[in-house]
Structure 1
Amino acid sequence: MIKIVRKTPYLLFLLVIPLLAVVYQFLNNRSHKAVDISTALDQSIPFLPIFILPYILWYAYIFCYLVYFCFQDTKIYLKTLLMIVIAELICFVIYFLFQTTVPRPALTGDDFLTNLVQWIYMNDRPFNCFPSIHVLTTFAVMLASLHIKNKHILNTLCIHISGSFIIISTLFVKQHVIFDMIGSMFLITFLYGITFELLSFRLREKSETVYVKNK
């Protein structure tokens, strides 16, 4: 219990996420010279309203796993949050300089899933697509989870299966195209290499040098 209380203040760093959302909404209202980078392969991907469920699950997925990281390993939590913040700031620069758009299908029907898609379409204009924040934040959590020790196998499966469905859902509900997905995963992989691998290596190398000197 004492450990949980001690780590709780770190959750305040999550307030940076709604601040980033405000910037996103500001950029989402710009549609100046938006470019369509969809390909023939994107056009062959069917529109499947059922995938709106994992798409919306993203909101809970990111929040819940960041909280989980915080209490399991605060350093991993802070690194993950830092990686996400840097990635989104890079995205904002790209959105401002090179805005893309995604062709959306005409929605027909009045069923529950179609209404959910309609709600998303109404609240998120088809701009600010490359790279996809949905994909990059999800992939960031998936990669960071590899550093959380002593996870139950079901937890590991949940992180990666749910994350995979969220990523591909962006294509099946026509919120993003393949280049958006690839760009996001490339960006996060690059930042992951810096924040988790390169930084950790340098810190470990430094601590080993200090140990040798003291010895």
Structure 2
Amino acid sequence: MQIFNKYKEKYGYAIIPLLSTFLLNDLVYWGGMAIAGNRYHFDLTTNLDRRIPFVPGFVYIYLICYLFWIVNYVLAAGNGKDYFYRYLSADLTARLICFLFFVFFPTTNTRPELVGNSLSVHLLGWLYSIDKPANLLPSIHCMNSWFCYIAVRGRKDIPRWYRIFSFVFAWLIGLSTVFIRQHVVLDIAAGFLLAELMWQFFGKTKYYKNVRQFYEKINGKIREKLLK
């Protein structure tokens, strides 16, 4: 029971905020696609993108990243409320900026014909079938992954090997998006840069304190209802 209370105290406050960022992610992605679905989409593919080899095997990294996101976002919550609400504010704002890009500057790319009968090709075919070539700039996959690195960067309470892993894996996820033709190079740069800029912005402005007050009021009301 003491262990449960310890983790409840450390992470419990972050349940609603974390759920809200995943909810906003869906609203941004599907909302942007619904609004801009019939508009002209710009193709930002460059000669560099055309020279990058198509490697279906990278679909495994592309898909396993969802577990990486969950783990590192929870780790961000374990670094204290002030840190976490700065992190959350940067994340939510970055997603809203993505929405503006998806609506007012929709992008697309050309996917290759899938040849072969390997598991990776089948997985990639399934991915293509559920994920249209839209909402590409900035890459949410890359943005989320850089936020995952930010969540552990410079933290002495996180093992050094995992901090290094998070940095390397964030880059591998970025590379996977172009190796399987889900994104182009510019999408990767925009996703990484957006996450870093928002993190730095909220560190300097302290606007995240307003976000903290908002969620603490929500958590307080939930606690009141549960105690009745």
TM range (shorter): 0.7 to 0.9
| Greater alpha carbon shift after TM alignment, 66-75 vs 122-131 | 66-75
2:131 and 2:182 mapped to 1: Cα distance?
Answer: 9
1:3 and 1:199 mapped to 2: Cα distance?
Answer: 31
1:3 is matched with 6
Report the residue type matching 2:108 in the other structure: T
Residue 130 (structure 1) shift: 0.7
Q: What's the CA shift string for 1:23-74, capped at 9, x where partnerless?
A: 3123224141001011011000011011111111221111111112212434
Task: Report if aligned partners of 2:45, 2:184 keep a CA contact under 8 Å in 1.
Answer: yes
1:103 aligns with 2:107: no
1:28 is matched with 33
Task: Report if aligned partners of 2:25, 2:95 keep a CA contact under 8 Å in 1.
Answer: yes
| Greater alpha carbon shift after TM alignment, 122-131 vs 26-35 | 26-35
5+ unaligned residues in a row in structure 1: which ranges?
204-215
| Paired residue secondary structure (2:78) | helix
| Greater alpha carbon shift after TM alignment, 41-50 vs 137-146 | 137-146
1:124 aligns with 2:145: no
Q: Which 4+ stretches in 1 moved above 6 angstroms?
A: none
5+ unaligned residues in a row in structure 2: which ranges?
210-228
Residue 167 (structure 1) shift: 1.3
2:216 is matched with none
1:15 aligns with 2:40: no
Q: 1:144 aligns with which of 148, 151, 166?
A: 151
Distance 1:76 1:50, change over 3 A: farther
1:28 and 1:113 mapped to 2: Cα distance?
Answer: 26
Q: What's the CA shift string for 1:87-133, capped at 9, x where partnerless?
A: 11101011100100011001112221011111111111001111100
Residue 78 (structure 1) shift: 2.6
| Paired residue secondary structure (1:130) | coil
Distance 1:123 1:162, change over 3 A: same
1:66 aligns with 2:70: no
Q: What's the CA shift string for 1:139-165, capped at 9, x where partnerless?
A: 122123224332212211221122111
How many pairs were matched up?
A: 200
Query: What is the TM-score when the length of structure 1 is the normalising length?
Result: 0.86
Residue 193 (structure 1) shift: 1.4
| CA-atom RMSD in angstroms | 1.8
Q: 1:45 aligns with which of 40, 52, 59?
A: 52
Query: What is the TM-score when the length of structure 2 is the normalising length?
Result: 0.81
| Paired residue secondary structure (1:141) | helix
Give me the identity figure in percent: 26
